[in-house]
Amino acid sequence: MRIVFFLLASLILWSCNQHKESKEPLDKEAYKLEIEQWHNSRVEDLKSYNGWLNLAGLYWLKEGANTFGSDDSNDIIFPEDKIPGKAGVFLLREGAVQMIVQPGITILMDSLQIKSGVIYDSGKLIQPKLTYGSLQWFIIKRDNQFGVRLRDFESKEVTEFKGIERFEVDPSFRVEAILETPSTIKKINITNVLGQTTPQHSPGTLVFTLHDKEYRLDALEEGEELFIIFGDETNKNDSYPSGRYLYADKPGPDGKVIVDFNKSRNPPCAFTPFATCPLPPAQNVLPIAITAGEKNYHGYNH
C-alpha cells in the first residue's frame, strides 16, 4: 500500500512540475500592444534623419567628370531651388570619387567646408557626408557601380507621410522555428532590383510549422540578427509585389528562433525609387498567403 501511495504521489508531483515547465499561453492583448509599439518605432525610423522617406535621388556616376547642380545642363541634376544651378563636379577615377566645388558655393563635408577633396575611398570604413541647405549626399557602391545617394530633410514624403496599412495582428503568425545550420559554409545567390546577383553567407535554414504545414526559409545575417527576405501569395494584390523583409533574433543553444510575421516589413523600395533592394531568392517564396505585417505602401509619387 505504501508503494502504491509513493508512486501516486510521485506521479502527481511529476505532473505538477511538467505543468510548471510547460509553455505559458500567449497574452493576446499584451502581444498586440507589443506589435503596436514595434510598429510605432518602425514608423519613427522611416521618418528619421537616416530613414528611407527623405531619399530624394540616386545618380549613377560615369568614369571621369560628372557635373552636378540644379541646372538641366548638368550630368547630375539635383532638385530645383535646393542648390545652385552649377554646384560642382564629381570625378570618378579607378574606384575613388573626388568632388570639386564651384567658387562661391559653401558645401560642407562632415560639418567642415570643402572646396575640393576625396569623398569616397574604398579603403575607408566610414565615408563622408556632404551637405548644402536641406540636402545631404554621399557615395554608395553597388557591385562595380558608384552612385550619389541624395537626401532632402525637407522632403514632402516625410512631412506628408500618412502611415502604412497593415494586416490585422494575428498571433498564429508568430511561430517557433529551428535553425538548421549547414555542416559547411553556405552561400545563397541574392539578386537586387538593379539585376546584380551576389552570393551571400547564410547561417542556415529556418524550419517552422504554420497552420499545420512545414515551411523553410533561408536566412541571412545582419549584425546580431537573422535577416529573412521572403515572398508569399499576398504579393499579388495586398503586399509589396517584390516581397517583404523580416528580422529575428539569432537562436540560443537549443537552435530555436521566434519568427514573427506580424513584424513583416516592406523593403525600402516600397517607399522610394532611390533604393537598391535585394529580392527574395526563389526558395524563399512561400506558396501561402502571409496575411500579417505591412501591406503595400502607395504614398510616394515620383
Which of 127, 154, 181 is the last residue in one of the domains? 154
The amino acid occupying position 57 is G
Q: Are residues 135 and 194 in the same domain?
A: no
Share above pLDDT 90 across residues of the chain, in percent, rounded to a whole number: 85
pLDDT of 7 higher than 90: no
Neighbours of 188 (CB within 10 A): 18
In a domain, 43, yes or no: no
The average pLDDT across 96-121 equals 96
Question: Tens digits of per-residue pLDDT, 27-75?
Answer: 889 999 999 999 999 999 999 999 999 999 999 999 999 999 999 999 9
pTM (2 d.p.): 0.84
Say which range, 13-17, 234-238, 256-260, has the weakest mean pLDDT: 13-17
In a domain, 214, yes or no: yes
In a domain, 255, yes or no: yes
Q: pLDDT tier at 228 (50, 70, 90 boundaries)?
A: very high
Q: Are residues 150 and 171 in the same domain?
A: no
Q: Which of 147, 156, 189 is nearest to 276 (CA)?
A: 147
Residue 204 near residue 215 (C-beta atoms within 8 A)? no
Q: Compute the distance between CA of residue 218 and CA of residue 187 in angstroms, rounded to an integer.
A: 10
In a domain, 17, yes or no: no
pLDDT of 79 higher than 70: yes
Q: Are residues 168 and 274 in the same domain?
A: yes
136: domain CATH number? 2.60.200.20
The average pLDDT across 201-212 equals 96
Q: Which structural domain, as residue segments, surrounds residue 121?
A: 55-154
pLDDT of 4 higher than 50: no
